[in-house]
Amino acid sequence: MAHLLSIGSKTHIDFIRDRLARDFKSLKVEGIDVNCQEEQRGEFAFIDYQRTNHVDDHAPASCECLIKYRVAQTLSDMIVNQWEEHLLDRIIKCSYYYFTQDERADIGKRARILLNGCEKRKESKTFQMETRRASIFRLLMEYLEQEDHLNLEGFINFRLKGYWSQLEAVVDQAVDEYLMEKEHTEFVRLLRYFVEIQAPRVEKVQVVLRPSGFFQLFDGEENVINNDTLEGFVVDLAESEINYEDLLVSALITIAPRQILMHLPDPNKVRNTISTLQSVFEERLSICPGCARCLHSNQKKF
């Protein structure tokens, strides 16, 4: 029997053994027979593979290449599907140890979504995973062409630099998203507090929101809310760097109405603004189901 390859790993050795056993079983049809012996060496379990007979004794190199091809396929698949989540958690734990366990779990979930694309689009997730698997497969084949001894943990830690960089970048992005959302949540909580402690200056406010984001405020009697009510809120829109959403939220907090009725253009165009207002004003806010004012709002683009 000719020695082919030795694979060592601290974990997932059962998966490696069983998966490769299935792969090598299919090779018997082609006359290629592979035996294995397993032994424990310290923390690592090693599987040694030997080749026995094959159909064409004049082509041992091609048989060896085919076997290593199957090994690279199996191991690259295992790294992406069995190890990747653990690797992400490892990066988060090492680089962002100061977050709580729940916070790290939230960041991990975000990182996996960023890494694989939208959860609802399975084709995107499959493509992203296959791209990473193909890159790892290529590096494994390059390694196995030169070496017949593979320490899987060592290979992952020291030979997959680009893969690690990709995982680290995704984790950093997930942390940024988490912190931004946390900051926004705290900001909304503070605004909600301001709304709750203020006495309403107007019972009902109607907000006419244009597609551009520009807005107008009317009271329950269809009168334009004047500057006296806004108590110095007037801002020079031409020179101000504050966006319309910030202006609208600030105006409504200043007035603190008991009811807010929103007249909207295409709701999809102002989704973020509506989401913020709903978070701050909660049950005080309602959306007009459609009226002449809503239609007029949609037609005006200023």
- pLDDT classification of 219: cutoffs 50, 70, 90: confident
Indicate whether 207 pLDDT > 70.
yes
What is the bridge-based pairing of β-strands 44-51 and 2-9? antiparallel
User: Out of 49-53, 87-91, 116-120, which region has the weakest mean confidence (pLDDT)?
Assistant: 116-120
Indicate whether 118 pLDDT > 50.
yes
| pLDDT higher at 237 or 288 | 288
Helix (H/G/I), strand (E/B), else coil: 261 = strand
Average pLDDT, whole number, for the chain?
A: 84
Residue-wise pLDDT tens digits, 252-296: 888 889 999 998 877 677 788 888 899 999 999 999 887 877 766
Task: Give the phi and the psi of residue 96 in degrees, each rounded to 5.
Answer: -130, 50
Mean pLDDT across 205-219: 81
Indicate whether 103 pLDDT > 90.
yes
Residue-wise pLDDT tens digits, 15-74: 899 999 888 888 777 777 888 899 998 899 999 998 776 555 545 667 788 889 999 999
Indicate whether 300 pLDDT > 80.
no
pLDDT at 238: 39
Indicate whether 13 pLDDT > 80.
yes
| pLDDT higher at 209 or 110 | 110
Non-local CB neighbours of 278 within 8 Å, separated by 6+ positions: 285
Please state whether 180 falls in left (phi above 0), alpha (psi between -120 and 50) or beta: alpha
| pLDDT higher at 157 or 27 | 157
Q: How far is CA 31 from the centre of its chain?
A: 46
Mean pLDDT across 111-121: 79
Determine the length of the chain: 302
Indicate whether 234 pLDDT > 50.
no
Task: Give Cα separations from 256 to 82, 226, 250, 275 (angstroms).
Answer: 53, 15, 10, 18
User: Out of 8-22, 151-165, 202-216, 238-252, which region has the weakest mean confidence (pLDDT)?
Assistant: 238-252
Among 12-21, 165-174, 214-223, 251-260, which range has the highest average pLDDT? 165-174
Indicate whether 158 pLDDT > 60.
yes
Burial class (CB in 10 A: 0-12, 13-18, 19+), 301: exposed
pTM of the model: 0.78
